[in-house]
Amino acid sequence: MKKVEAIKVSPISISSKLFYLGRFSQSTMATINDNYLKLKAGYLFPEIARRVNAFAEANPDAKIIRLGIGDVTEPLPEACRTAMIKAVEEMGDRATFKGYGPEQGYAWLREKIAKYDFQARGCEIDASEIFVSDGSKCDTGNILEIFGHDNTIAVTDPVYPVYVDTNVMVGNTGEANDKGEFEGLVYLPITAENNFTATIPSQKVDLIYLCFPNNPTGATATKEHLKAWVDYARANNSIIFFDAAYEAFITDPSIPHSIYEIEGARECAIEFRSFSKNAGFTGTRCALTVVPKNLTAKAADGSDVELWKLWNRRQSTKFNGVSYIVQRGAEAVYSEAGQAQTKALVSFYLENAKIIREQLTAAGLAVYGGVNAPYVWVKTPNSLSSWDFFDKLLHTCNVVGTPGSGFGAAGEGYFRISAFNSRENVEEAMKRITEKFKV
């Protein structure tokens, strides 16, 4: 049969009425996703760069120390490097060459993650429930693809901006108000008054983002706090997105590393993990998402659908797995040498955090976080705004941090200082603050 003309299959039995409305008002030219126009122009870090550059130009001799961005600075563990070099060499031999790997990650990596990160802590997580990826930023954004657009979504305030922006981009919100809050999102303030743990909402929300140890506040959650969330989620058929990217910084044995340490979490939570901060993989790229197999959400017809199947389909269709070389590097984190080396790396940054906490306290500032977390959250003195504090610190001490208001309206009056830097830079920055900064 010869078909000489393009065939338009007519939309007869489309399930969603919303879809129909879109179909019937077809455009006469290619159209964009208008939701992108609601986004604020990522003003935080560009504005920081603008102010730092202006200062640097006016003060060319100033030695500026940047404690702003949460990026690691210390070398990759030797165990990881050795494993990656071996993997590169394997790629040079036809017998050991690796082409496409499983989209979900290699079994040998998923099994080690399940065993060391979860089963060793009493979490019933199977290797098949681990999805290896190239980043938690990708995963926390992409996870929204498998959910409907009629969910009510809660985020903390302040919050990692990616959670909010990715919801805006897929159309889960309206416009932003002048405080930067998007219509349709439920904001859960976390401040010193509630010990930086959000109050469980009185209304019903369907999807909830939690991040512990928290970025940006450095707060941690007790088992009791997480249990309250799990109980809420189970009672309301909600799903918790639990971002545990900083779990390696927990040293207090009473603090849970995984939400699956809480009974019932398998029925309501997806967890995100990363090798970025424990093993210094920010430039190497490896992370993972856990989707328990019995976790479900509702289809339009009221039936329960396994989220594991949807995420597996999403990853199989839109992702080709993480580089074999990088996966071998991640696997080495679980070797005896890798465990010792990543522990040393984490201890190094935690010692930085301790120095920052102690010195800022000595300088008369109120500080939070930085104990089981790499971020120190500073209350600005004398009711200074976050940006005024930023300017004062930059001008008097030539030290750069991140204004808390950049993470949300309730971050106003706070300031984030990152422990990810060399000891020398941290000590010099703190010396300047204790000597020159007048509260």
Site for its own copies in 196-215 (CB under 8 A): 198-199, 201-207
**What is the nearest approach in angstroms of its own copies to the Cβ of residue 78?**
7
Residue 26 within binding range of its own copies, rule CB under 8 A: yes
Residue 135 has which token pair? 């980043």
Binding to its own copies by residue 324, rule CB under 8 A? yes
Cβ of residue 164: shortest distance to its own copies, in angstroms?
Answer: 10
Which of the ranges 20-28, 53-61, 216-224, 362-370 carries the binding residues for its own copies, by CB under 8 A?
A: 20-28
Tokens of 269: 């939570």
- Euclidean distance between CA atoms 313 and 33, whole angstroms: 24
Site for its own copies in 379-398 (CB under 8 A): none
Which phi and psi (to 5°) does residue 171 adopt?
Answer: 90, 20
Does residue 28 bind its own copies (CB under 8 A)?
Answer: yes
Alpha-carbon span 308 to 342, nearest angstrom:
30
Q: How far apart are CA 311 and CA 142, in angstroms?
A: 9
Question: 155-189: string of b/e by CB count within 10 Å (b at 16+)?
Answer: bbbbbbbebbbbbbbeebbeebeeebbbeebbbbb
Residues 121-160 contacting its own copies, CB under 8 A: 134-135, 137-138, 141-142, 145-152, 154
Distance, in Å, from the CA atom of 90 to the CA atom of 70, rounded to the nearest integer, reads 34
Name which of residues 227 to 286 contact its own copies (CB under 8 A).
Answer: 236-239, 280, 282-285
Q: Which member of 132, 159, 188, 245 binds its own copies (CB under 8 A)? A: 188
Q: Is 181 in the site for its own copies (CB under 8 A)?
A: yes
Shortest Å, Cβ 242 to its own copies:
14
Q: Is 58 in the site for its own copies (CB under 8 A)?
A: no
Tell the smallest beta-carbon distance from residue 399 to its own copies (Å).
19
How remote is the C-alpha of 227 from its chain's centroid?
21
Quote the least distance from Cβ 14 to its own copies, whole Å.
4
Only one of the segments 34-42, 120-128, 342-350, 394-402 lies at the binding site for its own copies (rule: CB under 8 A); that segment is 34-42
Cα separation, 207 vs 137, whole angstroms: 17
Residue 33 interacting with its own copies (CB under 8 A): yes
Of 108-116, 119-127, 313-321, 393-401, which part binds its own copies (CB under 8 A)? 313-321
378 binds its own copies (CB under 8 A): no
Task: Write down the least CB distance from residue 181 to its own copies, Å.
Answer: 5
Beta pairing class for 375-379 and 414-418: antiparallel
Q: Looking only at residues 399 through 438 of this chain, which bind its own copies when binding is defined by CB under 8 A?
A: 410, 422
Which DSSP symbol is given to 246?
T
- H/E element, 289: strand 287-290
H-state helical runs in 286-371: 307-318, 324-332, 336-362
